[in-house]
Amino acid sequence: MKKEIHTEHIKTLIKTIPSFYKVEQVLQKFNLLTSAVDKGEQYLICCPFHEDADPSFRIMKRTGIWNCFSCGQNGTLLKLIHRLSITSFSFYDFADNLLRSDKLLQNTLGFKTIYRTLNDSSNNSQFGSFKRFKPSATSDLPITVLSDYLQRKEKSFQTLKASLSMIQQDISIREIKQFYEEYFQYTSNESDIKEVSLQDLLL
């Protein structure tokens, strides 16, 4: 029987993980901290997913958002933990097992699984489709600032659409804009810059 993902539960878990498992602790656990270069709000390390002579893997300390400027892989802190763990579990099963093994995390979130239970009627409202996009109430920049910036950089509508999915995770517009600014500055030849798909961050 196929298990059904509780969308709000997995979103909340992904957003909460960086406050429970600090980036420094994750890097240390997987022996990546000793070679890390501290850049203030982020760490720069050699990418663990390919041969990397020079550090090309950037991870934000507060949010855990990461990307490699060389191979193009990117994601959230939970995705990184899953990728670095030698496991046969799918992303969702891994996330569920992590949650089930941490009582403090369960108590903080108010649920014990990312899967929907049989008697769970939440999100079944006829108005459920109107809840897909709920911008963060604490966004410190108007969405037009990000939109105008991406248009000036001649980035596709798909990139803006992907950015909206990150706003749903309560990543501020300022942080998303900073993500792109630093990405564009990293490569000297802007024509060589790959299109960043933040939509891929979750899986």
- pLDDT (tens digit per residue) in 36-69: 999 999 999 999 999 988 899 999 999 999 999 8
127 and 142 share one domain: no
- 119 and 142 share one domain: no
Same domain assignment for residues 106 and 6: yes
Q: What is the CATH number of the domain that holds 87?
A: 3.90.580.10
Q: What pLDDT is attached to residue 157?
A: 61
Tokens representing 21?
């498992």
- What token pair was written down for 81? 């933990």
CA-based nearest residue to 200, from 75, 85, 98, 100: 75
C-alpha to C-alpha distances, 146 to 22, 41, 107, 156, 159, nearest whole angstrom = 28, 20, 36, 13, 11
Summarised one tens digit per residue, pLDDT across range 5-37 is 998 999 999 999 999 889 999 999 999 998 899
Question: Mean of the per-residue pLDDT values for the chain?
Answer: 76
168 and 198, same domain (yes or no): yes
Asked if pLDDT for residue 187 goes beyond 50, the answer is no
Contacts of 170 (CB under 8 A, 6+ apart): 15, 136, 138
Per the structure, how many domains does the chain have?
2
CA–CA distance, 12 with 114 (Å, rounded to integer): 9
Residues 195 and 174 in one domain: yes
**Among 132, 166, 195, which residue terminates a domain?**
132
Number of H helices, E strands in the chain: 8, 5
Shared domain for 185 and 157, answered yes or no, is: yes
Parent domain of 89 = 1-132
Same domain, 175 and 105: no
Are residues 176 and 143 in contact, defined by beta-carbon separation less than 8 angstroms?
A: no
| Average pLDDT value for residue range 147-174 | 66
Q: What is the largest CA-CA distance in the chain?
A: 55
Same structural domain, 39 and 56: yes
What is the band of 189 on the pLDDT scale with cuts at 50, 70, 90? very low
Residues 161, 121, single domain; the answer is no
Do both 105 and 179 map to the same domain?
A: no
Token code pair at residue 148:
């105008």
Domain finish residue from 105, 132, 159: 132
Which of these three, 91, 115, 132, is where a domain ends? 132
